[in-house]
Amino acid sequence: KYFFLFCMSFAIAALITPYAAKTARRLKIVDRPDGRLKKHKKAVPYLGGAALYMAFIAALVFGKVFFSGGIKGIIGIGIGGTMIFALGLADDIKRLKIMTKLIVQILAAAVLIVCNVKIRFLPWEWLNNAVNMLWVVGVNNSFNLVDIMDGLAAGIALIAAAAFFIIGVQTNMLFSPMAAICLAGATAGFLVYNYPPAVIFMGDAGSLFLGFMLSALAMGDRYTETNVLAVISPLLILGVPVFETFFVMWIRYRDGKKILWGSPDHFPLRLLKIGLSRGRVLAVAYSSGAVLSVLAWTAIRISPSASIAVYTLTALVMLFFAHLLGKIRI
């Protein structure tokens, strides 16, 4: 059933994406180059996020109805995901204020909490809820931030969704392996058109939606019966966007720039600066995501002390690379 749902969501996304591109061009919902952050040669249509959203929702609802007998268990991510998709779509059409976007993201996170999709590893419920809010909003914006190059955000999301699916099936402790495989299929179908040179962008509708879904998929009471620290594993699976977020914030703070103001400080752009091709930059990002996912898979199967060593060593390696990347002049 999982293979069927992957193929279904892949096919829907692959079929819908070209029509989304045509619609975006007709409605003039396009991303125009500005010579600063947006250096593509011509205007590229948005609305790739619409194809992602429709493929995911259609496959997931079909899977839940025909394989599980109803849509129970996906109402929270369905409502919250629709709110985030609508927010991103509105931002693609007409730029919204940061506070407006933040409020909607918090409300979508609240929907997950109300529907009992949340992390519960802390002793106080209010603190669990606060961590859930911070997690959802943070991952939302990390994927929005990492969507800086053709194929980057989609490829990273595909790897992360596959990792959540594999771990979810093996441990039966994640929120929904079915949702993970549907998201992986939809992202793969979209990536066919988004891989360089991209013929369509996912826009905020896609990047925010992917971030929201992956943040929800990561939620669970625990990841293993033997290692309580395995709850940290999602930070590794989503390590590339998390690294990008903190790296950009640090660079902007170091250089006296506004943290929330767009600037070409992203790590993929720095790798381009030292001479790597776009294909090699994507290879670095994809392989990093895959290695981090393997480390996360390993960390849930070893003792707490060994997992601490894995997390610590990974953090030190990330800090080392952040130091090297920070020396590259942009």
In the chain the beta strands, taken as DSSP E runs, fall at 30-31, 44-45
Q: Distance between CA 181 and CA 1 in Å, rounded?
A: 10
Contact yes or no for 245/145 (Cβ under 8 A): yes
275 phi and psi, to 5 degrees?
110, 0
pLDDT band at 67 (very low <50, low <70, confident <90, very high): confident
Nearest-CA neighbor of 297 among 253, 229, 237? 237
Continuous H helices in 120-262: 125-146, 152-171, 177-194, 203-217, 233-237, 239-254
- pLDDT tens string 270-282: 999 999 999 999 9
Beta bridge partner(s), residue 30: 45
Per-residue pLDDT, averaged over 247-263, amounts to 84
The number of C-alpha atoms within 13 Å of 60 and in the hemisphere containing its C-beta is: 27
Which residue reads 């066919």 in tokens?
192
Residues in contact with 4: Cβ distance below 8 Å, sequence separation at least 6, in sequence order: none
What is the pTM assigned to this prediction? 0.93
